[in-house]
Structure 1
Amino acid sequence: MLAQAVEHLIKNIVDFPDDVSVKSHENSRGELLRVRVNPEDIGRVIGRSGRTANAIRTVVQALAEDHKVRVDIMDVRR
């Protein structure tokens, strides 16, 4: 559910929504959401001084309620 929510949020921010993908992984520290976007959209997703990325992380933590979730944002070249 969290991956779908993050994907929906980010697709509405970027210019290339077809390039957005969100994969969920479990590790010992909690859940990891890997967000990949088009290289031209990375600035939009991170935002000035990281404000947009921090807002996305805040929303994810609010949705996660009882467990730890980390969000990593990368471009599709990686």
Structure 2
Amino acid sequence: MLELVEYIARELVDNPDKVDVSSSKDEEGNVYISLRVDESDMGKVIGKKGRIAKSIRAILKAISLKENIKIFLEIED
């Protein structure tokens, strides 16, 4: 899951070395993924009207349905 988010983000941005992906889990089993990119690359990861961010979240939702868990993605600069 983390590898997939990192791969997608690195392919989208101009500064792939500044992409950082981390995750944490709460006691209920929910997974929180934090994606950090360079400030100049935020627009590329979010996309026009949030389309790219929504697409990444849709992929994570498909994974979460298959694995029966909840996954939340937060994009930070």
The alignment covers a number of residue pairs equal to 74
Instruction: Check if 1:13 corresponds to 2:18.
Output: no
Amino acid at match of 2:73: V
Identity of aligned residues (%): 34
- For the aligned residue pairs, the C-alpha RMSD in angstroms reads 1.1
CA distance in 2, matches of 1:43, 1:35: 13
Matches within 5 A, 1:53-64: 53-64=53-64
Alignment of 1:26 with 2:28, yes or no, is no
Question: Secondary structure at the residue paired with 2:9?
Answer: helix
Moved more, 31-40 or 57-66: 57-66
- Name the counterpart of 2:52: 52
The unaligned stretches of length 5 or more in structure 1 are none
CA-CA distance at 1:20 after TM superposition: 0.3
5+ unaligned residues in a row in structure 2: which ranges?
A: none
Cα distance in 1 between the residues matched to 2:43 and 2:16: 14
TM-score when normalising by structure 1: 0.89
Instruction: Show CA shifts across 1:22-42 (max 9, x none).
Output: 001012461000000000000
Answer 1 or 2: which has greater strand percent: 1
Amino acid at match of 1:57: R
Which protein is richer in helix relative to its size? 2
